Amino acid sequence: MKTLIVYATNSGTAQKAAQLINEKLKEKADMVNLNDQKVPDITPYDFIAIGGSIMMGRIQRSLKQFIKKNKKQLMQKKMGLFIACGFPENLNDYFEAILGDIGGHAAFKRSIGYAYYFDRAKPLVKQVMVSIAKVTETVEAFDNEAIQAIADVINGK
């Protein structure tokens, strides 16, 4: 199965999650960071995994634009969404805001845990990390079970 993992990342969290998922796939996926790469034609792909991270209650604009632009094609393909989120109590709201009416079509909608890359963060983001997440250094807390579950779906298990 030809798979594309499309993600948007500011600090590297979604990229790391995409890499962790890709490592568990039987056939390696093509990976595209929407924030710095041209979006490929998704026609030849059988499965599209879409990922991003929540920052201050929002997901990356480029991710929402990708979904909106490719909505018709995504509805005809197997697809799923993964997000990195340090506060998972609002996950369903995030998924609905990101996917809209195609959410019911997704093969998975999963939180993959989170990471705070304090050393890479811009000063304003560092302030948010300290005040809201109480983080003062880099923390990786990826959910390996969720990542495996996503890979299992893509692998057809």
Mean pLDDT of 104-114: 89
| pLDDT value at residue 40 | 85
Mean pLDDT of 67-94: 85
| pLDDT value at residue 33 | 95
Q: What is the mean pLDDT of the chain?
A: 87
Q: Give the pTM.
A: 0.87
Q: Which amino acid is at 147?
A: I
Tally DSSP H helices, then E strands, for the chain: 6, 7
> Checking DSSP bridges between strand 113-116 and strand 139-142, what pairing results, if any?
antiparallel
56: pLDDT confidence band, cut at 50, 70 and 90? low
**Is 134's pLDDT higher than 90?**
no
Is 57 exposed, middle or buried (CB count within 10 Å of its CB: 0-12, 13-18, 19+)?
exposed
**Is 30's pLDDT higher than 90?**
yes
